């Protein structure tokens, strides 16, 4: 940490805290995350690293590997200690999380803005899967937005997992974004779960809240609409929030939906 100047706190939670930072050699603005190691915190093997790494560090390194994905936060440096680890990440300036950005705009985004954000979030999710990473906690609080450029970056891989084709049984993430199959069967698959969470994020952006039981009933029947929203937007929400995973729009096809063709 002697290579960085630590500034004011940006946020905190059960994991620890995030502070502003500046790299001494070139005055680069960074974010410094200090996380306490949980008693049973998993470690994973990452190609190119001889020792197993804390899950969050390993997954972030994997998500950064290979072709650049500008929609994913870049890990610049890290350090592991006995009871905690430190991650130094890029810090876009200016930036705020998507939830704060929505609140700045009255809690609801117009479709044009939501579409621009959604394209980037989909790209981030797809890039993670291509690199073997299942983020598992895509939500407005984990999406940074630069209000000047509208660039979006996915952050916080602490709830993630290594990608696998078989079902997941463990719960890790945020309850409001977990799909119905987990509640009813206790299992879920990575890509359909991600499509569900993307649908919830889109619903939040254009409606300002989570869908109610009544909304979900109409969505399941593909007859949900909302005054002021285009039919294409309502259709995409219905396609992402189908209760049966096999009926949801495939992640690889979301960007081809008619809603993204609207000017």
Cα–Cα distances in Å, from 190 out to 146, 206, 216?
28, 25, 21
> Where do the structural domains in the chain lie, given as residue ranges?
4-90, 104-261
Average the pLDDT over each of 40-44, 153-157, 223-227 and give the range with the smallest value: 40-44
For a pLDDT cut of 90, what percent of the chain falls above it? 88
CATH (residue range 4-90): 3.30.200.20
Give yes or no on whether 4-90 and 104-261 have one common fold.
no
Residue 67 has pLDDT above 90, yes or no: no
Give dist(CA 260, CA 112) in Å, integer: 9
The catalytic residue positions are 137
Q: pLDDT confidence of 263, banded at 50, 70, 90?
A: low
User: CATH for 104-261?
Assistant: 1.10.510.10
Residues 6+ apart with CB under 8 A from 187: 167, 168, 169, 181
Q: Kindly report the CA angle at 258 between 254 and 260, in degrees rounded to 5?
A: 70
Q: Helix-strand-coil percent breakdown of the chain, rounded to 5?
A: 35, 20, 40
Q: Which of 21-25, 48-52, 137-141, 194-198 has the lowest mean pLDDT?
A: 48-52
102-149 pLDDT, tens digit per residue, is 999 999 999 999 999 999 999 999 999 999 999 999 999 999 999 999
Give me the pLDDT at residue 167, please.
97
Cα(16)–Cα(85) distance, integer angstroms: 10
* Sheet hosting strand 96-97, strand order edge to edge: 96-97, 143-145, 152-154
Return the pLDDT at 232.
97
Percentage of the chain modeled with pLDDT above 70: 99
Bridge partners of 11, per DSSP, are: 18
């Amino acid at each position: 940490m002697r290579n960085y100047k630590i500034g004011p706190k940006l946020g905190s939670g059960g994991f620890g805290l995030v502070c502003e930072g500046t790299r001494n050699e070139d005055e680069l603005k960074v974010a410094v995350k200090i996380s306490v190691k949980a008693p049973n915190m998993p470690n994973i093997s990452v190609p190119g690293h001889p020792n197993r790494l804390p899950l969050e560090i390993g997954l972030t390194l994997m998500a950064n590997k290979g072709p650049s994905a500008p929609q994913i936060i870049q890990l610049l440096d890290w350090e592991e200690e006995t009871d905690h680890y430190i991650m130094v990440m890029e810090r876009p300036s200016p930036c705020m999380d998507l939830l704060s950005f929505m609140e700045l705009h009255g809690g609801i985004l117009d479709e044009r803005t939501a579409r621009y954000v959604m394209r980037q979030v989909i790209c981030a999710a797809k890039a993670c899967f291509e690199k073997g990473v299942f983020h598992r906690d895509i939500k407005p609080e984990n999406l940074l937005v630069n209000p000047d450029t509208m660039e979006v970056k996915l952050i916080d891989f602490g709830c993630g997992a290594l990608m696998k084709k078989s079902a997941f049984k463990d719960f890790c993430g945020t309850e409001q974004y977990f799909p119905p199959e987990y509640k009813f069967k206790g299992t879920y698959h990575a890509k359909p779960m991600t499509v569900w969470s993307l649908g919830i994020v889109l619903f939040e952006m254009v409606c300002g809240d989570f869908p109610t039981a009544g909304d979900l009933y109409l969505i399941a029947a593909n007859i949900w609409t909302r005054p002021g929203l285009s039919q294409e937007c309502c259709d995409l929400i219905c396609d992402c929030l189908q209760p049966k995973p096999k009926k949801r729009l495939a992640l690889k096809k979301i960007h081809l939906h008619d809603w993204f063709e609207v000017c």
